[in-house]
Structure 1
Amino acid sequence: MNAFENKRILIIGFVWPEPKSSAAGSRMMQLISFFKENGAKITFASTAAESEFSEVLEGVDPKLITLNCSSFDDFVTELQPNLVLFDRFMTEEQFGWRVAQHCPDALRMLDTEDLHCLREARRLVVLKSKPFDLNNELAKREIASIFRCDVTMMVSDFEMELLQTYFKVPSFLLFYLPIWVENETLDLPSFEERDDFVFIGNFLHAPNHDTVIYLKEEIWPLLSKKFPEAKLQIYGAYPTPKIKSLHEPKLNFFICGRAESSFEVISKARVLLAPIRFGAGIKGKLLEAMQFGTPSVTTTIGAEAMNGDFLWNGFISNSPEDFAEKAIELYQNKTSWLNAQQNGFEIIKHRFLRDLFEDAFLEMTFDKFENLEKYRQRNFIGSMLMHHYLQSTKYMAKWIEEKNKA
């Protein structure tokens, strides 16, 4: 069965993928490669400008599109894609009504990356001391987008459950597809060949920004006091002035900038530290740490939806004192380190290998293509939301377009 043979797929990207900068970029490149391998003809469109770090999309037709402009209508009408993949709900908000109007038979697929409303609710608790509230404005937009689409891919089984139990999203509108790992053998350094603690993450992502500040201000003073020779290497794209100001070599706290290779950075470190205080989805840095044989210490939120019933590849801790102690133990105790490394390999093997998901993904997509009208008939809330959204967004977009002409 090949669901994408001779199919035209339009991907509307929030940004052009940068797999060396973020897990979101890696995720998008996985999807593009998978579609290509299965015979699809792909057009990747985005309103964002490409950067010097954007991936070269070989075998993919690139297209720069414009917000609130009827030029997109002409473009998508001529293209007539069989499937439109929206990269995060914001692109569905902007272009979903145009796709529905001009390509009504196209399968509309949403990739959330993570549940933005959950991440925002947690951010407000940590940074604004507000009560946890999932009924936020972002949720109203994001959940509406999920209902309007024919299927939404989720990287987190925890968020799958949350959508179904709390927001009452029908299971047939959701599909679990985490960032996967290729089944390959890597030549990994031994315990003795590794040095230092490491963190890696894109600093445009608020949870990463907060994590490094938290590391410097709360955890590192405790850790370095007990383990003065410890060194922490911080890598990440787009560091802000605040992050750069944390660079303090005399305290063995190093801001190292963008990493050319996450494998080189993570596999050479002995322990990855990720005291993530808010966020959602699954954490690409922690998945890569498992893949590259590097044990980690993280929080409950960091580990969420990743290890299932398996032991974590290191420790999970939510207090600065305990976090520091666990990090030192993992760094110094070879037996604990080797056990943690093996735990990570088991999590990868049973929860994240590509072989676990590709057949089910193809079968689901084939089923949606064959029975699209039947599924849409079952999704009354989605059709109701699409009706009102199409009318309101359509006329707002046309008003903006006319205003821009003036």
Structure 2
Amino acid sequence: MPPAHLLVIGYVWPEPRSSAAGGHIMQILQCFLDQGWQVTFASPAGDGEHMADLAALGIARQAIELNNESFDRFIAELTPDVVLFDRFMMEEQFGWRVEKHCPSALRVLETSDLQSLRDARQVLLKDALKAQPQREDFSTLFSLDHPDLYRHMAAADISQREVAAIYRSDLSLMISQPEIELLTGQFRVPGALLHHCPLMVEPSGPGKPFEQRAHFLSIGNFRHAPNWDAVLWLKTVLWPRIRQRLPQAELHVYGAYTPPKAMALNNPAQGFRVLNWAEDALQVMGDARVALAPLRFGAGIKGKLVDAMLCGTPSVTTPIGTEGMHGPLPWPGLVASDVDGLVDAAVRLHQDQAAWEHAHAQARPLLEARYRYRPHAEALVTRIDTLRSTLQAHRLCNFTGAMLRHHHHKSTQYMAQWIEAKRKNTA
């Protein structure tokens, strides 16, 4: 099909150097720019500290407002062929307006990860720690087969909202294959509504050798709850035990939007250094000997661990960290689900050059097999083009989505119009 016009409605302006979600949306945009598409990015959010320079890429930028008819005029004039909602909250807010003014536009949802899965796992972790505050083995909490996971998700408001948005959309981009299996298996979402679209990268050189690297590294946006939990676990439990065995070791903790509570953890005397935002994440990752990502809850696939592979940096993480990331291929590092296992893994990779080099060598094959940019970019564009040419038949097969759109969009429309009218009367 000929090049078309893509409108992205973002929850925030993309920040590829601050989060994996920001990097993923930029990778998706690049897929369509490579095909000669016109791309417009719109968001109701304020400017971010580390936002991408969209204009430099030829992407038009448009500020929009919630509950404001100005968006109706904007999209009616723009007439995009495809509208991509970046997070389900944007589909909730703007989906009815898109359908009203551009009914033939293909509506795509970028989930980034299943927020409802992440939230349910956070609840399970809190419950486990409340029942056993000194718990050190979390293996039973990591599996998608956890007996309480679906029960927590199914009862949660956020799950019902997120899955409803997936049904209302023509296609949802899923970064993790296990999350596709969760949706199609437990929630009975039709597979035709989902498309696997992981992080897409181009592998480069092998990175620095063992003897040219030093220290441990932890990196991640502090606004992301799983990252903050991992840093606290490192500070209070894991790092003291690692440091006891490696008295000269240092852990360098980087993260965007570092709050005062994170800076308060900084203690150079203990080798625990909180260093704020890394302007070049790959540079600091490539200098580190071992990346630590002790994630006790979360969802999706982890940008920090893909970055570690790109730099040839072995990682120590949990089954949450590796979920959906390596399939049958070996992990380029070590995985454990309890405190002793994580500490042993960290010490081993830091000290044992043979073990480090074995893990280092496994990174490139995994990237080549699962994360190369071009195959995934071509598959995404092909899927979008196919749906554009068969959209009427595709929607006819999704009666549940049509029903949900009818009821949700009407209620959302009336609420938005009431808010707008109230604002005008009080202005």
| Class of the TM-score when normalised by the shorter of the 2 chains | over 0.9
Residue 6 of structure 1 is aligned with which of 3, 8, 33?
Answer: 3
- Report the equivalent of 2:12: 15
2:210 is paired with a residue whose SS is coil
1:198 is paired with a residue whose SS is strand
TM normalised by structure 2 equals 0.92
Residue 53 of structure 1 is aligned with which of 50, 55, 79?
Answer: 50
1:91-124 deviation digits (Å, cap 9, x = unpaired): 1011011101110000000010000100000011
Amino acid at match of 1:296: S
- Report the equivalent of 2:193: 173
Percent identical pairs in the alignment equals 44
1:191-218 deviation digits (Å, cap 9, x = unpaired): 1000000011001111111110011011
- Write out aligned runs for 1:4-403 (5 A): 5-57=2-54, 58=56, 59-129=58-128, 132=149, 133-135=152-154, 136-182=156-202, 184-186=203-205, 188-403=207-422
Deviates more, 1:143-152 or 1:315-324: 315-324
Q: d(CA) in 1 for partners of 2:327 and 2:417?
A: 47
Compute the displacement of 1:305 (Å): 0.3
CA RMSD of aligned residues (A): 1.2
1:126-174 deviation digits (Å, cap 9, x = unpaired): 1344854111111000000000000000000000110100111101100
Q: d(CA) in 2 for partners of 1:306 and 1:225?
A: 32
Deviates more, 1:73-82 or 1:130-139: 130-139
Give structure 1 regions of 4+ aligned residues with deviation exceeding 3 angstroms. 128-132
Residues 187/313 of structure 1: CA separation in 2 closer, same or farther (3 Å cut): closer
TM normalised by structure 1 equals 0.97
Deviates more, 1:123-132 or 1:151-160: 123-132
Amino acid at match of 2:364: F
Q: Is the Cα–Cα contact under 8 Å of residues 214 and 289 in structure 2 kept in the other structure?
A: yes
Q: Is the Cα–Cα contact under 8 Å of residues 204 and 310 in structure 2 kept in the other structure?
A: no
1:15-69 deviation digits (Å, cap 9, x = unpaired): 1111111111111111122211111111100000113421110211110000001
Compute the displacement of 1:320 (Å): 1.2
Structure 2 unmatched runs, 5+: 131-147
Compute the displacement of 1:335 (Å): 0.9
